[in-house]
């Protein structure tokens, strides 16, 4: 299926690794130009090189998105380079373990800056260009907002905010023809996830405990599976879809618990 994404300029925050990189690769395969926005220039450039070596196009901007001024500058750099923005994927963030017992006021607020505030700022600064292109916004969220996890109050709160902003922006931006959706991730295999797993006392047993609770195939979701859905939601092939939270999770969140374990 041709998603009609040829030459579309799409910002992907946190696009150098994991789910973000998976999204960038699929967008490039569809002929669009993913713009990676991330804090580490070496990682950004490595991702761009990987995409271009596969005959795609990509670009990158270095930005520490927890700093408000960096969000504005990143968007402006994209406009200076391409004079348009056709889509925004808010993806950057990390489950930083700021819990109710383990956290404090300063760490909680910093986690919200790291995981939620830049979603708003990137959309705010990109909005004039998105109005002009009638582009789309896609927010990447986490199951923690719906299932809880324990020990991660700030990240769960940020993801609850991402879900709420998805619905709120879908309403506010209807008059501009801008669609806003979200993909909710449960257990997705990424280098960061693998690193966390390898820190466990028995990584193999821990992985089995996790995959046993994923009904479809008893396996982790892949970044490519998230990315394929992302590309569709950013494209005109999903032209009458807005304000939706899509769970690409093998049935983890919503299927009957009897199917698990």
Q: Report residue 253 as tokens.
A: 């969140």
**163 near 138, Cβ under 8 Å?**
no
**48 near 60, Cβ under 8 Å?**
yes
The strand pair at 179-185 and 188-189 is best described as: unpaired
**Letter string b/e over residues 38-73, b meaning 16 or more CB atoms within 10 A of that residue's CB:** bbeeebbebbbebbeeeebebbbbbbebbeeebbbe
Residue 191 and residue 90: Cα distance in Å, rounded? 19
Catalytic residue (one of 105, 119, 120, 155):
155
Is 155 marked active-site? yes
Which residues neighbour 62 within 8 Å (Cβ) at sequence distance 6 or greater? 38, 39, 40, 41, 44
Residue 15 and residue 22: Cα distance in Å, rounded? 8
Q: Which residues are catalytic?
A: 155
């Amino acid at each position: 299926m041709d998603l009609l994404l040829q030459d579309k300029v799409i910002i992907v925050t946190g696009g150098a690794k994991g789910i973000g990189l998976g999204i960038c690769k699929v967008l490039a395969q569809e002929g669009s130009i993913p713009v990676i926005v991330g804090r580490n220039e070496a990682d950004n450039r490595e991702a761009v090189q990987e995409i271009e070596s596969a005959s795609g196009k990509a670009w990158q901007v270095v930005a520490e998105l927890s700093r408000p001024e960096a969000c504005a500058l990143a968007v402006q750099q994209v406009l200076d380079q391409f004079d348009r923005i056709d889509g925004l994927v808010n993806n950057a963030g990390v489950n930083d373990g700021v819990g109710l017992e383990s956290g404090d006021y300063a760490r909680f607020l910093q986690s919200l800056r790291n995981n939620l505030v830049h979603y708003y700022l990137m959309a705010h600064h990109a909005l004039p260009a998105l109005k002009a292109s009638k582009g789309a916004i896609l927010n990447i969220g986490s199951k923690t907002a719906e299932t809880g996890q324990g020990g991660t109050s700030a990240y769960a709160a940020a993801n609850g905010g991402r879900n709420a902003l998805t619905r709120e922006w879908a309403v506010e931006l209807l008059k501009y023809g801008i669609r806003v959706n979200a993909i909710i991730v449960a257990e997705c295999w990424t280098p960061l996830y693998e690193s966390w797993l390898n820190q466990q006392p028995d990584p193999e047993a821990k992985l089995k405990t996790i995959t046993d609770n994923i009904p479809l195939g008893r396996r982790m979701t892949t970044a490519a599976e998230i990315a394929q859905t992302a590309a569709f939601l950013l494209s005109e092939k999903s032209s009458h879809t807005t304000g939706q939270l899509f769970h690409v999770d093998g049935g983890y969140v919503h299927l009957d618990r009897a199917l698990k374990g």
